[in-house]
Amino acid sequence: MGKDFDFEEISFYCRSPIFMCPDCSHAPRCGDLLNLLRIFKLEEKPPEPDYRKLFPWTRPRPAGEVDPNNKINELGSGEWLKFTRTVLTETFPKTLGHELRRKHPEYKSPFLLGQLLAFFTKERDMVLDPFAGTGSALVAAALMNREAVGFELFKKWIDIYYEICKAHEIPRRKLVQGDCVHLSRYLPAESVDFILMDPPGILKPMEWLGKDVKGEQAFDLFFSMLEE
């Protein structure tokens, strides 16, 4: 290190791990990062990390770890046991285009959706997301070596998906701008292995607050709102 650097210039205000720096929207203006790069004589930010390593279920497995009778996924017994919980409580890294993705009112982390794909699919399976948004399910599918098709009505969310894929060199999956009711035009019959769906929040509280909506009435109300 040179003697002309003052460590007091470095505040270490940021508490995020260093591997998140390449995906941080603040990185180009981050004084801490720039000072560290100067101290260690680096002219560029650290290289893009391998985000596949953040999906632990994509690791190579030794022979015999996965039961040959397991027709659902490629998990070992310990991993399978973890997924028997009905609630996932992990916090996920704010990477892979988080700053872009959070512009969507109902964005989801690809790491969360990756857990669902790990349990319900195998490599090369076909995943369908009929309400794709910014494409988190498609990002997870690509990183986990699954095929995927998504549908999204609004171009601005599709553009964000493409931007995320380009920034992180993620193989793009098909994201159709259009209504998912026409999915038969893009997918052969019985070609989908898993549907990963987060329906849009179309039910406004003032439309059902104080009403007694039970049983089949709730489904009827939901689908009638979808038709509108």
User: For 126-141, what is each residue's pLDDT tens digit?
Assistant: 999 999 999 999 999 9
Q: Which two tokens stand for residue 218?
A: 């709730």
**127, 164: one domain:** yes
Q: Residues 53-94: pLDDT tens digits?
A: 667 667 777 777 888 888 889 888 878 887 777 677 777 888
Same domain for 168 and 78? yes
Q: What is the CATH number of the domain that holds 155?
A: 3.40.50
Query: Distance (Å, rounded) from C-alpha 175 to C-alpha 186?
Result: 10
Same-domain check for residues 125 and 220? no
Query: Which residue's entry shows tokens 């090369």?
Result: 124
Q: Give me the number of domains the chain comprises.
A: 3
57 shares its domain with 125: yes
Instruction: Tell whether 192 and 205 lie within a shared domain.
Output: no
Tell me, yes or no, whether 72 and 164 share the same domain.
yes
Low-confidence residues in the chain, pLDDT < 70: 1-15, 39-54, 56-57, 86, 201-219, 221-223, 225-228
Does 80 lie in the same domain as 35? Answer: no
Q: Determine the distance from the C-alpha atom of residue 68 to the mean position of all C-alpha atoms in its chain, rounded to a whole number.
A: 29
Range of the domain at 170: 51-197
Backbone angles phi, psi at 80, to 5 degrees: -60, -45
Q: What is the pTM of this model?
A: 0.69
Beta strands (DSSP E) in 168-221 are 174-177, 194-195
DSSP at 167: H
Residues 36 and 103 in one domain: no
Indicate if 134 and 185 belong to the same structural domain: yes
Q: What is 18-79 written as a DSSP string?
A: GGGGGG-TTGGG-HHHHHHHHHTT--SPPPPP-GGGG-GGGS---TTSS-TT--S----HHH
Look at residues 15, 33, 49 and tell me which one is the last residue of a structural domain.
Answer: 49
Locus of tokens 């601005």: 156
- Are residues 4 and 97 both part of a single domain? no
Q: Are residue 74 and residue 175 in the same domain, yes or no?
A: yes
**Same domain flag for 93 and 55:** yes
